[in-house]
Amino acid sequence: MTAPNPSIGRIYLDNAATSWPKSPQVLASVTDYLTHCGATAGRGSYQSAVDAGRWLLDARSNLARLLGASQAHDIAICHSGTHALNAGLWGVLRPGDHVITTSAEHNSVLRPLFHWQERMGLEVSIVQCDASGTALADDAIGLIRANTKLIAIGHASNVTGKVQRLEPWSQLAHAHGLILMVDASQTLGYLPLNVEQESIDILASAGHKGLRALTGTGLLYVSPKCQTNFMPLMLGGTGQASEQVQGLNPWPLSVEVGNLNMAGVVSLAVAARELLESPDGLSDAQGECHWKSRLQSFVMSLRAIDGLEIVGYSPPFEVQDRIPVVSVRADGWDVHDLANILDTAFGIEARAGLHCAALIHQDLGDQHNQGTLRFSMGHTTSAAAIAYTVDALRQILAEEAA
Ligand SMILES: Cc1ncc(COP(=O)(O)O)c(C=O)c1O
């Protein structure tokens, strides 16, 4: 870990990878669980096992409420966003199916799809995104075939922070009887989402980014319709029907197979409850998230730095349809060198590179595929940390120019 800046505290701007800090309530509940319970869910009838089982039910039910799903049963707890995405895709796709996705997706969508294209005869089409990092549903219409089964779309780019409008994708999918799968890893906790209102069939997400559960958590919502014939990614013990060695575990145990990360389950239950019960802690009186005004001032200050390009933004540089992720490139600079100087000379933790998004960078005008320097704020990133970061960048670029 980088030495903290003495006056401002730690400047952690990689919340899109995983968020820090977690909330005091999450930390207190996890500590209490580890200290006084420590048992696992669904494996015994003694009191601490029952308590662990309650945490699992709470996690599923709080997440269902947060996502507007009608039943807690429609949520499965996962180990990461990657696990949730792989489990969701594998659950419904079969050899010979055709999938439409976009160039803005994370590799945890692209890699399984391309691997299964090579190994099991899946067919994959990509809709290219625009210079902001979003793709148009209209561009997917001509790609629909007789065997098209599913559209996989990210709710926001983890490189540019641009939020994808889901409504046109939902309309397209349902007009053609396709499954709509949404990757909400970057938006959950930052933006409201309602799977029933938006007609989302499958929603996969990390739990440890904007939602602020522990790293090593994820979740998968699958609509009752898609739970039928859902193919499990893994098989094994669930604590139920232990005499059987054949047959598939029923949903959601088909995904929650093996012992879960119980500290993570507790953190999911509490993080989701916090968002449900006290959104005021994260929003102002008008319901606007605190991060939004800080993001706007960050973008405006970055814009004023000579030689710095804010990737995926154009005038008037508004943040209305953004999450708190900003990527930059600087004339004549390798983004990795910039990240290194920010870390070592200023104690600012930010990430450089392709951000596990293999296909978006060319669409963002990055001919050499070097990627971006990405700053991702969290719910509690302070205005002082933002001002310090802008100042550091200004100094670095000004020294280079001198
Ligand atoms: C858009 C998106 N999808 C999926 C993932 C994968 O999540 P996890 O790191 O929990 O596997 C990430 C992580 O960065 C992401 O940004």
Q: What are the structural domain ranges in the chain?
A: 11-22+283-401, 24-279
pLDDT value at 381 more than 90:
yes
pLDDT value at 399 more than 60:
yes
**What per-residue confidence (pLDDT) applies to 284?**
64
By the 10 Å C-beta count (0-12 exposed, 13-18 middle, 19+ buried), 242 is classed as exposed
**What per-residue confidence (pLDDT) applies to 307?**
94
**What per-residue confidence (pLDDT) applies to 4?**
58
User: With respect to CATH, is domain 24-279 assigned 3.40.50.720?
Assistant: no
**What per-residue confidence (pLDDT) applies to 290?**
80
Q: Which residue, judged by its Cα, is nearest atom 14 of ligand 1? A: 17
Q: Which residue, judged by its Cα, is nearest atom 8 of ligand 1? A: 81
pLDDT value at 2 more than 60:
no
pLDDT value at 332 more than 70:
yes
Mutate-to-test residue for ligand 1 from 103, 106, 164, highest number of ligand atoms within 8 A of CB: 106
pLDDT value at 281 more than 60:
no
Q: Which of 376, 377, 391, 373 is nearest to 305 (CA)?
A: 391
Reported as a single tens digit per residue, the pLDDT across 34-86 is 999 999 999 999 999 999 999 999 999 999 999 999 999 999 999 999 999 99
Which two structure tokens, joined as six digits, stand for 274? 């916090």
pLDDT value at 271 more than 70:
yes
Q: Is 112 in the pocket of ligand 1 (CB under 6 A)?
A: no
**What per-residue confidence (pLDDT) applies to 279?**
64
pLDDT value at 3 more than 70:
no
pLDDT value at 1 more than 50:
no
* Average pLDDT score over residue span 264-272: 98
Reported as a single tens digit per residue, the pLDDT across 309-318 is 999 999 999 9
Q: Is 158 in the pocket of ligand 1 (CB under 6 A)?
A: yes
**What per-residue confidence (pLDDT) applies to 194?**
96
* Average pLDDT score over residue span 350-362: 97
Q: Is 218 in the pocket of ligand 1 (CB under 6 A)?
A: yes
Q: Is 80 in the pocket of ligand 1 (CB under 6 A)?
A: yes
Which top CATH class is 11-22+283-401? alpha beta
In ligand 1, the atom with minimum distance to the C-alpha of 82 is: 11
Which region among 88-92, 187-191, 289-293, 333-337 has the lowest average model confidence (pLDDT)? 289-293
Positions of E strands within 75-199: 75-78, 98-102, 123-127, 148-154, 179-183
Q: Which residue, judged by its Cα, is nearest atom 12 of ligand 1? A: 185
| Residue 181: C-alpha distances to residues 51, 208, 214, 280, 392 (Å) | 33, 20, 24, 30, 40
Mutate-to-test residue for ligand 1 from 82, 219, 351, highest number of ligand atoms within 8 A of CB: 82
Instruction: List phi, psi (to 5°) of 193.
Output: -145, 140
Q: Is 185 in the pocket of ligand 1 (CB under 6 A)?
A: yes
**What per-residue confidence (pLDDT) applies to 239?**
86
